[in-house]
Amino acid sequence: MKKKKITRTKSSTTKNLNALKRGLIALFKDSDRPLTHKDICRLLQVKDKITKHQILFVIKNLLADRTIKEIGHGKYRIKQSQTFYEGRIEKVVSGAGYVICEGLDADVFISARNAGQTLGGDTVRISLTGQHNGKNPEGIVVSVIERVRKEFVGNLRIDGGNCFVTPDNSRVGTDFYIPKDKLSGAKNNDKVLVNILDWPKSAKSPFAEVSKIIGRAGEHHAEIHAILAEYGLPYEFPKSVEAYVASISEEISEKEISKRRDMRKVLTFTIDPHDAKDFDDALSIEQISDDEWEIGIHIADVSHYVKEGTVLNDEAYERATSVYLVDRVVPMLPEKLSNKVCSLRPHEEKLCFSAVFKMNRKAEILAEWFGRTVIYSDHRFTYEDAQDVIEKKKGKFVDEILLMDQLAKKMRTKRIKEGAITFDRVEVKFRLDQANNPSGVYFKKAKDANKLIEEFMLLANRQVASFIGKKMDGTPSKKPFVYRVHDVPDPDKIGAFSAFVKQFGYQMRLKLLKILPIRLIVFWQMYQERRRKYC
C-alpha cells in the first residue's frame, strides 16, 4: 500500500518557528544565567530530533539579528541594553575582586580573568554579566577610571633575567615587572618603592621602575620606613613649614594673658604614659569650700599657633592626625609645636582651652565654665606614679589625687548605671631596646589612674557637647558643630550576636532597647567567663 505523503505548508512551518522563537526569547529573559542548546531542550522537555534542529536554527537566527549573544562556547543569553556602573575594586590574593557600586544592593564579583589591568583600590567602570554562586552579581571591568596610586612598596625578586617586585599589600593583586635598566641599583631582596610606568595590553604585570631603595627586607629600620612609604606618611616637614614654625615665639605676651582666665596659681598636673613626649591635656583642682571644688580639664590651645591660611595650617590639614607606630610618631605638627610650645610640660606656662566644673563630693556639677585660659603645670605624673599614690595613699598631691579618684569612680558608676558600654581590655605593648628594636611584650591594663583621666575627659566632652547643642532655655541649638554620636545597634548584628550567645545558654530580650547597652555588657562578660572556663 502506498503511503500518503504528508505535506506541510510554508505558512504553518513559519508559524511554528515564530512560536518557537517567541518561546526561546521568553526563556532567555527568564534565565539568570547563560543557556546552552542542551539546557533549552531540557527546559522545554524536547526529545525529538526535528524540534532540536529547529531550536538550533532559531538560535542562529536570534544570533544573526542580535537578539541574543554568545557568552562562551555554545552558551547564549539575551542581549540587553548595557548599563555601566562605577565603583572601587577591592582585590583578594587570587586576583579576583569585588566592586562596591551605588545603586546595587550587593557587591559585584569580578573574576581574575575579568578584572583586566586593575589594581586593588582602582576606581573602575563595569558591566554586569550574570550571577556569581547565586549570591552576588557578577561583572566585567570595562575600563579603569582612576588609579588608586602610582607608587607601591614591595620586595625586589631577581630570578635570572627577570626582575619583579611583590607588593607588601597583597590586595594590590599583581606583581610589578622591573626592566633591568630601571633597577636604580637595587639588589635582590631589597625593600623598594616603585613607580608604575606602563601596562601594555599584552602584559600580565605592569611595568615599573625603582624610585627609592628603602633597605633590606626584614630589617627593622627598612620595614618601618616601608610602612611610612606604603601609607604615604610624610615623616619630614617641607622647608617652608619648618621656616614658619621657627618664626613662632615661645614666649606668652602679657597682652595674650589679659584676654584669658589666669589659672597659673591653681594646682595643675598631667598624667600620661611613661614614654609620652607630648602632654596635650592636664587637670587642675582648687577647693572652694568644705564640700565644693573647682576641677579644670585643660587642652593645649593649638589654634592660637596654627592660623588659618598659613602653610602650617595647610600641612596640618593634609596630615589630619598624628600616626603612632611602635617606635616613633609621625606628627601632625612639627616637633617645636607638638613636643614644646603646645605640650603642657611641667613648670612652664601654657595657653589652653579649658572646661572648669564646680563639683561636690557626690560628683554633682554645681556650675560650669568654658573658655581660654593660661595655666602652669606643677608636676608631671606617669600613670604608674599616680597609681602608686592611689594605692599607697601617700606621695605628691596625695589629697588632691585621692579626691579626684573618688569623684571619677562615682561618675563612672553613674555612667555605667545609665547604660554606657565599657570594654575593659588588656592592651599588648612592646618593649624596645636602645636601637628601637622590639625586645619583648607586656600587658597594659587600665587601672584607677587611667580611669581617672578617662572620666574627666569624658565629662568635659559630654558637657561641651551639651553646652553647644542646647540654648540657655534647653531648646536645641542650630550652631554647626562636630558631634561624636554612636548610632543605635544594627538589628541584624544584634540578632546574630543573640544567636551566638544562645549557644552558651543565654537569652537576650531584644525588645528592651533602652537597657540594651547594659545587657550587652552583661552578656559579653558572661561570654568571656564561659570562654575562659572551657576554651
67-123 tens-digit pLDDT: 888 887 888 888 765 678 899 999 888 888 999 888 788 899 998 888 888 999 899
In the prediction, which pLDDT does 509 show?
64
Let me know: does 37 contact 57? Beta carbons within 8 Å. Answer: no
Let me know: does 183 contact 212? Beta carbons within 8 Å. Answer: no
Neighbours of 130 (CB within 10 A): 15
We report the CATH number of the domain holding residue 197 as: 2.40.50.700
Nine cell digits for residue 422? 565599657
Same domain, 69 and 89: no
Domain that holds residue 447: 250-409+421-465
Choose the final residue of a domain: 170, 201, 230: 230
Q: Is residue 105 part of a domain?
A: yes
Q: Is 447 helix (H, G, I), strand (E, B) or coil?
A: coil
Q: Is residue 51 part of a domain?
A: yes
Q: Which of 105-114, 159-168, 217-226, 308-317 has the lowest mean pLDDT?
A: 217-226
Collect contacts of 364-369 with beta carbons under 8 A, ≥24 apart.
Answer: 365/463, 366/292, 368/463, 368/467, 369/261
Nine cell digits for residue 505? 545558654
Q: Which residues pair with residue 359 across a beta bridge?
A: 293, 365
DSSP letters for 388-424: HHHHHT-STTHHHHHHHHHHHHHHHHHHHHTT-----
Angle between helices 311-319 and 239-246 in degrees, nearest 10 = 120
Cα separation, 89 vs 78, in Å, equals: 27
Cα separation, 104 vs 26, in Å, equals: 25
Same domain, 353 and 432: yes
Same domain, 69 and 121: no
Q: Is residue 388 part of a domain?
A: yes
Pick the closest to residue 344 from 287, 296, 400, 286 (CA basis): 296
Q: Which of 20-34, 100-114, 153-167 has the lowest mean pLDDT?
A: 20-34
Residue type, 271: I
What mean pLDDT do residues 12-25 have?
77
Predicted model pTM: 0.66
Q: Is residue 243 part of a domain?
A: no
Q: Is 357 helix (H, G, I), strand (E, B) or coil?
A: strand
Half-sphere exposure for 444 (CA within 13 Å, toward CB): 12
**CA dihedral (309, 312, 315, 321) positive or negative:** negative
Percent of the chain past pLDDT 70, that is, above it, reads 89
User: For all residues of the chain together, what is the average pLDDT?
Assistant: 85
Same domain, 324 and 392: yes
Rg (CA), the chain: 34
In the prediction, which pLDDT does 534 show?
46
pLDDT at 130 over 90: no
pLDDT at 516 over 70: no
We report the CATH number of the domain holding residue 128 as: 2.40.50.140
> Distances from the Cα of 63 to the Cαs of 56, 75, 128, 397, in angstroms?
11, 11, 20, 89
In the prediction, which pLDDT does 333 show?
92
Number of helices and strands in the chain (H, E): 13, 23
Instruction: Collect all residues with Cβ–Cβ distance below 8 Å to 233 and sequence separation of at least 6.
Output: 227, 323, 330
What mean pLDDT do residues 53-75 have?
85
The stretches of 113-162 forming alpha helices (DSSP H) are: none
Q: Is residue 63 part of a domain?
A: yes
Residue 279 pLDDT level (bands cut at 50, 70, 90): very high
Same domain, 134 and 178: no
pLDDT at 203 over 90: no
pLDDT at 136 over 70: yes
In the prediction, which pLDDT does 529 show?
52
What's the total number of domains in the chain?
A: 5
Environment class of 136 (CB within 10 Å of its CB; exposed 0-12, middle 13-18, buried 19+): middle
Residue 519 pLDDT level (bands cut at 50, 70, 90): very low
184-196 tens-digit pLDDT: 999 999 999 999 9
Same domain, 304 and 205: no
Same domain, 502 and 372: no
Pick the closest to residue 323 from 246, 232, 194 (CA basis): 232
Phi-psi region of 206 (alpha: psi -120 to 50; beta: other; left: phi over 0): beta
Nine cell digits for residue 188? 635582590
Pick the closest to residue 480 from 469, 493, 471 (CA basis): 469
In the prediction, which pLDDT does 201 show?
82
Same domain, 213 and 340: no
Nine cell digits for residue 272? 600620661
- Find the angle CA(98)-CA(101)-CA(105) to the nearest 5 degrees: 90
Same domain, 140 and 156: no
In the prediction, which pLDDT does 5 show?
46
Q: Using the structure block, give the residue that is written with the C-alpha cell 606628627.
A: 331
Phi-psi region of 106 (alpha: psi -120 to 50; beta: other; left: phi over 0): beta
What mean pLDDT do residues 177-189 have?
91
Q: Is residue 209 part of a domain?
A: yes
Angle between helices 383-392 and 448-469 in degrees, nearest 10 = 110
Cα separation, 502 vs 512, in Å, equals: 17
In the prediction, which pLDDT does 513 show?
45
Provide φ and ψ at 438, rounded to 5°: -60, 125
Same domain, 345 and 254: yes
Nine cell digits for residue 386? 599616680
Provide φ and ψ at 338, rounded to 5°: -65, -40
CA dihedral 108, 491, 525, 424 (to 10 degrees): 70
Nine cell digits for residue 384? 604608674
Nine cell digits for residue 525? 562578660
Q: Is residue 285 part of a domain?
A: yes
511 versus 429: which is more confidently predicted? Answer: 429
Residue 511 pLDDT level (bands cut at 50, 70, 90): low
Nine cell digits for residue 135? 549570591
Cα separation, 32 vs 355, in Å, equals: 62
Choose the final residue of a domain: 127, 146, 165: 146
In the prediction, which pLDDT does 12 show?
64
Q: Is 473 helix (H, G, I), strand (E, B) or coil?
A: coil
Q: Which residues pair with residue 282 across a beta bridge?
A: 298
Same domain, 163 and 224: yes
Q: Is 86 helix (H, G, I), strand (E, B) or coil?
A: strand
What mean pLDDT do residues 436-454 have?
83
We report the CATH number of the domain holding residue 69 as: 1.10.10
**CA dihedral (18, 19, 25, 28) positive or negative:** negative
Instruction: Collect all residues with Cβ–Cβ distance below 8 Å to 402 and sequence separation of at least 6.
Output: 389, 390, 393
In the prediction, which pLDDT does 81 show?
59
373-428 tens-digit pLDDT: 999 999 999 999 999 999 999 999 999 999 999 999 999 999 988 877 676 667 77
Q: Which of 28-32, 221-225, 286-290, 372-376 has the lowest mean pLDDT?
A: 28-32
What mean pLDDT do residues 426-439 have?
74
Same domain, 270 and 369: yes
In the prediction, which pLDDT does 13 show?
67
Q: Is residue 6 part of a domain?
A: no
Nine cell digits for residue 452? 581617672
